[in-house]
């Protein structure tokens, strides 16, 4: 492990689009650098390595997990491979930041958490939205009781893409569907606000011809009459907004989930606005959180605790069971 003054060295598994965004953000960080990249195609690994000046380029994921220069691995492969590749790294003694969704289901998630805790390794879900400065400010406002008790959460994240049965969002073999890829953001947001999972879930969904959810609406019910209203989809663009309505005021995030702005409203007036003018997409903040945890000897983040990640996965399992949407990993 790198010392306090040295950069933490990352390995990347799966040099696709999301990994490229992560790498671009790491270039803005003063605490991290990429030491290795692995792909099933050595050619892709070499191309990624040349683009981001990565010294060790491998034609397998196993080589990244075994590389002694690597402190922590970022798993950026498709959903259905998160469990396998995170487990590979943990068994090799590596700390892991795993892209969302953490796994396909709660059973896979629970096993990864168990292994990490047994081995004393750091493990965190890469819910990058949770670490954005605007979202940090939202948590500060909530903790300061500036809107009173949060009673209603409203959030959406839906996009409209052309239907293609081979696209990963429509392919059940790749964990396709709106819920795991897009809906996880507003569901995790509600979990962050309330600090618990819903008691009751009411939902409706449009299941496409490939057998995955293409659109859905959720109503979560919590103790004390609190609720969350969530909409998402892959063939229906939504406004991309989030609200927290409290007994004293409200919070609005006008561009959700990637918002750089948060508004605090009291007595129908905007009384505070947070604007984030930093560079990058936001992955740098989750990487910096991982670095802070590693340097302080913590094996999980208080911002995205493993028990909460598992709770969100259990909630999504409940939703999929109601819809009858299953994946190979569920069998």
CA distances to 84, 152, 178 from 213, in Å: 24, 25, 6
Query: The tokens 């994946």 sit on which residue?
Result: 327
Residues whose CB is less than 8 angstroms from the CB of residue 263 and which lie 6 or more positions away in sequence, other chains included:
251, 252, 253, 254, 270, 272, 273, 274
Residues 98 and 111: their CA atoms lie apart, in Å, by 14
Handedness of CA 36, 66, 285, 130 (dihedral sign): positive
Identified catalytic residue from 9, 94, 100, 226: 100
The closest alpha carbon to 73, from 59, 93, 48, belongs to 93
Q: Tell me the two tokens of residue 125.
A: 């879900």
Is 100 a catalytic site residue? yes
Residues 115 and 95: their CA atoms lie apart, in Å, by 11
204: three-class secondary structure by DSSP: strand
Which residues are catalytically annotated?
Answer: 100
């Amino acid at each position: 492990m790198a010392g306090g003054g040295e950069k933490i060295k990352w390995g990347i598994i799966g040099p696709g689009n999301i990994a490229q965004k992560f790498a671009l953000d790491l270039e803005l960080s003063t605490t991290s650098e990429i030491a290795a990249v692995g792909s099933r195609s050595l050619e892709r690994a070499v191309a990624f390595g040349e683009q981001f000046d990565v010294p060790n380029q491998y034609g397998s994921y196993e080589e990244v997990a075994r590389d002694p220069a690597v402190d922590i691995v970022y798993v950026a492969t498709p959903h259905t491979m998160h469990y396998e590749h995170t487990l590979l790294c943990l068994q090799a003694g590596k700390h892991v930041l795993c892209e969302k969704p953490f796994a396909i289901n709660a059973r896979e998630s629970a096993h990864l958490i168990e292994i990490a805790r047994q081995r004393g390794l750091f493990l965190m879900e890469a819910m990058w939205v949770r670490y954005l400065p605007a979202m940090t400010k939202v948590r500060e406002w909530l903790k300061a009781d500036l809107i009173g008790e949060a009673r209603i959460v409203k959030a959406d994240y839906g996009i409209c893409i052309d239907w293609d049965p081979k696209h990963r969002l429509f392919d059940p073999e790749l964990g396709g569907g709106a819920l795991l890829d897009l809906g996880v953001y507003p569901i995790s947001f509600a979990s962050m606000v309330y600090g618990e999972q819903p008691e009751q879930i009411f939902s409706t969904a449009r299941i496409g011809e490939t057998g995955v959810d293409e659109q859905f609406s959720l109503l979560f019910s919590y103790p004390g009459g609190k609720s969350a209203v969530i909409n998402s989809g892959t063939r229906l663009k939504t406004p991309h907004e989030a609200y927290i309505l409290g007994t004293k005021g409200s919070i609005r995030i006008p561009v959700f989930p990637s918002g750089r702005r948060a508004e605090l409203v009291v007595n129908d007036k905007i009384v505070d606005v947070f604007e984030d003018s930093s560079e990058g997409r936001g992955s740098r903040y989750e990487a910096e959180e991982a670095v802070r945890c590693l340097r302080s000897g913590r094996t999980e983040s208080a911002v995205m605790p493993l028990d909460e990640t598992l709770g969100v996965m259990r909630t999504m399992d409940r939703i999929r069971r109601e819809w009858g949407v299953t994946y190979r990993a569920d069998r």
